[in-house]
Amino acid sequence: MARKLQTQANGNLTPSVIVRNWVGGEERDATGGVRFDSRSASNQVDVVGTAPLSGMEDVEAACRAAAAAYPAWSATPAPVRGEIVGRIGEAISHHKELLSKLVCREIGKSMKESRGEVQEVIDTAHFFQSEGRRLYGQTVHSEMPNKELFTYRRSLGVAGMITAGNFPIAVPSWKILPAILTGNTVVWKPSEDAPVIAYLFGRIMEEAGVPAGVVNIVHGAGGGGAGEAILACVDKGLIQKISFTGSTAVGRKVGEVCGRNLQIPSLELGGKNPMVVLRDANIDVAVEGALFSGYGTAGQRCTSLGNLILDKPIAAEFKARLLKRLSEIKIGDVTKSEDVLYGPMINQRFYENFMKHFEMGKADGARLLTEKHGRITKENAPANFVGDPDAGYYVFPTLWEGVTADMKLSQTEIFGPVVTVMEVDGFAEALAAANCAPYGLSSSCYTMNPTDILRFKNGIHAGMTSINNTTNGAEAHMPFGGVGWSGNGTRESGVWVIDAYTRWHAVNEDLAGKLQLAQMDVDFGETKEPTDLSFLA
């Protein structure tokens, strides 16, 4: 029989979920007894759920539960752990449509993107299911006879995870699934912007057979709350690995704590992703790419397009075509229509941060190409707006021109539906502009010229690059991550993430029956007199 969720009435709307922490296999409220609301991004009225506001005591209890579960879980054969991870994928597939609706309802992503997000969890689970049968070490020849060398991957211990709300289930799955597959146990602090989807992900992991204490979920705030408590637990020796996805500012704090504890955190941070369009590009394809990259999810992706770098001969036409497409798109309540390109800002915090960039752009001397700016209201809403604009934080798409590499506008992650246009003359200037920001997450270049494709791939300072495609689009079996202010070089996804949750253990086994020392007792034999090749001179 299906296990019921605890819910409460929510006016005439779908009931609110009563979210609880999941610690040692039990559902618990926060010790302080305080709860916070998660409201639908689309209308700020629909309380999707209420969640516990946890603190230090709750996080410590979760760390202890994770430590208690660790010996048995790390000793469980990896193929068995893989099978459980695979079952998580099956359970998510089973609930895919309802989970997608929840992502859409809670954080305001379009249904198309919400389905994509949930599919990413399924892909990740299926990928790591088979990695459970492939956690290879090496058998290595020794310098000495009757001696064998081996390498093993070992798990790290308790992994603390802190995630952002804009990818509320895909990004956590990128961390949790490989971490548990490799034998670690987890304490996860989801974003306070999306506790309900996180809670259901926990329920699904339980449904799939994840044993008590292997994954623990503690809800709450970041600074001054459960997020900071997780970092304090690194200092207390209760956590052996941190994986963080969020802003560069918080990522630096995470890096400091882990650094002083000699741990290597996984840091997946912000982006200011460039898209170059060269004069020979297929403009139709590139305009659609810029539209989706810059404005999809209301620009609230780490891989959203920031700087659009246009080659001068095509710049005027490109801007005109992009503006035309922006006048045609549908914005609005994603829970009411499937063909909305983008919905609301996730909440007031994201809206206010977005609004700040207008002052920056003005001070920089850049020029606005779009006519209406800022918040969409009943008074100024486009004719095809879906739903009630006053209900959520909806904003107009923004396009700036006249942007240069020395402006704050080209250097700063804005995190909203805004694109900044830089115009350049030819490939060399385009590449320099693409590399102008301190971030280096994703990048893209539209051209049909194979030499420029090669030069872009070699010259771009980024963790990910698309040729003739958008700055977005991760696949579960490719490495995801950035350079510079976008991260510390660790990667999520694919076989590469396994290095983030394991350490190498070198073992030698000596069956010689006597003491033999490397380098010192090695017999390389003797060389003979050199062959006389002087007759060739």
Q: Is 302 tagged catalytic?
A: yes
Site size with ligand NAD, rule: CB under 6 A: 29
Cβ atoms within 10 Å of 114's Cβ, excluding its own? 27
Q: Contact, 345 vs 111, CB < 8 A?
A: no
Q: Contact, 169 vs 118, CB < 8 A?
A: yes
For ligand NAD, the closer of residues 286 and 462 by Cβ is 462
Q: Is 288 exposed, middle or buried (0-12, 13-18, 19+ CB in 10 A)?
A: middle
Strand order of the β-sheet with 502-510 is 139-141, 147-155, 502-510
CA separation for the pair 215, 217 (Å, rounded): 7
Query: Interacting stretch for ligand NAD, rule CB under 6 A, among 46-54, 184-192, 312-320, 390-398?
Result: 184-192
Which of 82, 108, 202, 222 contacts ligand NAD by CB under 6 A? 222
User: Using the rule CB under 6 A, is 176 a contact of ligand NAD?
Assistant: no
Structure tokens at 39: 């409201």
Best CA proximity match to 237, nearest among 182, 158, 128: 158
Which of 202, 270, 332, 417 contacts ligand NAD by CB under 6 A? 270
User: Using the rule CB under 6 A, is 166 a contact of ligand NAD?
Assistant: yes
Which of 268, 311, 333, 452 contacts ligand NAD by CB under 6 A? 268
Strand-pairing partners, residue 16, are 8
Helix (H), strand (E) at residue 154:
strand 147-155
Q: Least separation, in Å, of the C-beta of 174 and ligand NAD?
A: 8
Catalytic residue, from 104, 233, 258, 302: name it.
302
Structure tokens at 283: 């403009």
Q: Least separation, in Å, of the C-beta of 276 and ligand NAD?
A: 20
Which of 192, 206, 311, 452 contacts ligand NAD by CB under 6 A? 192
| 3-class secondary-structure state, position 384 | coil
Query: Interacting stretch for ligand NAD, rule CB under 6 A, among 32-40, 73-81, 85-93, 220-228?
Result: 220-228
Query: Interacting stretch for ligand NAD, rule CB under 6 A, among 121-129, 131-139, 163-171, 390-398?
Result: 163-171
For ligand NAD, the closer of residues 245 and 398 by Cβ is 245
For ligand NAD, the closer of residues 271 and 289 by Cβ is 271
Which of 89, 160, 202, 246 contacts ligand NAD by CB under 6 A? 246
Handedness of CA 225, 226, 229, 230 (dihedral sign): negative
Query: Interacting stretch for ligand NAD, rule CB under 6 A, among 140-148, 243-251, 368-376, 502-510?
Result: 243-251
CA separation for the pair 523, 334 (Å, rounded): 73
For ligand NAD, the closer of residues 349 and 362 by Cβ is 349
Q: Contact, 376 vs 394, CB < 8 A?
A: yes
Structure tokens at 477: 């079996």
User: Using the rule CB under 6 A, is 269 a contact of ligand NAD?
Assistant: yes
Handedness of CA 174, 177, 180, 182 (dihedral sign): negative
For ligand NAD, the closer of residues 227 and 343 by Cβ is 227
Q: Least separation, in Å, of the C-beta of 474 and ligand NAD?
A: 9
CB hemisphere CA count around 166 (13 angstroms): 21
| 3-class secondary-structure state, position 387 | coil
Compute φ and ψ for 523, nearest 5 degrees: -105, 105
Q: Least separation, in Å, of the C-beta of 455 and ligand NAD?
A: 26
For ligand NAD, the closer of residues 271 and 494 by Cβ is 271
User: Using the rule CB under 6 A, is 120 a contact of ligand NAD?
Assistant: no
Q: Least separation, in Å, of the C-beta of 216 and ligand NAD?
A: 15
Structure tokens at 29: 């409220």
For ligand NAD, the closer of residues 185 and 191 by Cβ is 191
Compute φ and ψ for 136, nearest 5 degrees: -70, 140
Q: Least separation, in Å, of the C-beta of 450 and ligand NAD?
A: 30
CA distance from start to end of the chain: 90
CA separation for the pair 174, 475 (Å, rounded): 11
**Contact track, ligand NAD, 300-339, x by CB under 6 A:** --x-------------------------------------
Handedness of CA 4, 100, 94, 132 (dihedral sign): negative
Q: Is 73 exposed, middle or buried (0-12, 13-18, 19+ CB in 10 A)?
A: buried
For ligand NAD, the closer of residues 242 and 431 by Cβ is 242
Residue of minimal Cβ distance to ligand NAD: 222
Restricted to residues 410-439, the positions that interact with ligand NAD (CB under 6 A) are: 413, 415
| 3-class secondary-structure state, position 127 | helix
User: Using the rule CB under 6 A, is 250 a contact of ligand NAD?
Assistant: yes
Which of 231, 314, 430, 497 contacts ligand NAD by CB under 6 A? 231
User: Using the rule CB under 6 A, is 393 a contact of ligand NAD?
Assistant: no
Residues that bind ligand NAD (CB under 6 A): 162-167, 171, 189, 191-192, 221-223, 227-228, 231, 245-247, 250, 253, 268-271, 302, 413, 415, 441
Positions marked catalytic: 302
